[in-house]
Structure 1
Amino acid sequence: MNEPQILASMSYYASRCVPLAASLNVLVQRLHQSQHMSCPQRAISLLVQAMRLHRRNKTVIQDCTSNLFFLTSSHYASCSKQQRNDIIMELIISIETCQDDRLILQNSLVTLFHFDIPGDVIFVFEKLAKVLLNTLLNFHNDDGIGVRAIHFCNALVCSLQHDMKEQAARVGFVPTIMKIIRIRLDQDIADEMLEVLWGTLWNVTDETPKNSWEFIRLGGI
């Protein structure tokens, strides 16, 4: 199928999982070969729609997140602010609701790195932070998902101003990071994850007395 046929099929079968998934898979294969598209915004709109309609269908979400990875990599600049917001929200929901699906988690996390941090994600900061921290707790021993999650957490807090760093503390950044550091120290694990955990803890407490006191209150490390 060519691009117009793929998009027409995605639109026509929007409410029917099986044929929709087939169309999404064709798009994945096409984008894997060449990320050039004449109507990337139309494709993105259809992908967001598919994710909203079929949040419990892992096959659809897998293919949608794969397609969004390719499209946001090549066509980020052509996305409107609303489209960026829509993509980010659907990726966060996918991470939150598909903790048992590694492919969806990996696709969603790497796609989030295509956006401006914190500018593009500030509108949904608290929800994103909570979802990332929960993912980090679940996958801190995972070299793929866990490492991606902590790198995003670090990039997020590193770019925040003082008031937003305090907001980060309110969603549990300090105790969560401290908990995972202690686990790794108890297990005598020194690796990339531990290094970035320390960096994240430094960045979330740096020049932020409230967060530093939280670190002290929790007993330090």
Structure 2
Amino acid sequence: MSSEYFHFLNIMGAAFFAVSGTLMGHEKNINGFGIVVVASMTALGGGTVRDLLLNTTIFWVASPDYLYATYGAIITTVLFIRYLPSISNYYFLLVDAIGLAIFNIVGIEKALIEGTSMLVAITMGMTTGIFGGLMRDVICREVPLVMRGDLYATACLSGGLVYAVLFAVDVSYVWCVVGAIATTVLLRFGALHWGWRPNLFKKGRIL
């Protein structure tokens, strides 16, 4: 993937997760500075953990663009909430699903750029996508989405596997990205709208 594509996806992922963190903070009646902390951790936490594990420069330290995107998304969302104070929790879940899908790809690409195997890259994609939201939910005293019964980590993993398959058959990078993002978002929407659940275990046996 070109550096421009990668940078754009990273910016978008940070912005979407900043929005989801702001919405969660609003729902929990957290004060202004607290919302900035929660939203920033949501937007930057997963990528920070990934970069520490990869022993590379933390992405938002290397480029302030990610901080601009994060703070810009926070301010925009706060203004949006001011005029629509009864905003539904559905929008939080929608934005979170898109942020999850984008950061999953960003994590995979960042790991591959650093020379890891595809298996490690898929794991780093899940780390990037999940950890920011995990931190957000823990701080807000919520059961983390990844630990609830719906498709979250599974959606991330499925998107990574789709990326790996398309990459292996030499499909263009753009379609690898589109396929992976579409898979992750579709599975999250399925969980939200139709109650899809990962039934790995049922009645004491593996299915």
**Shorter-chain TM-score range:** under 0.3
Asked which structure has the greater CA Rg, the reply is 1
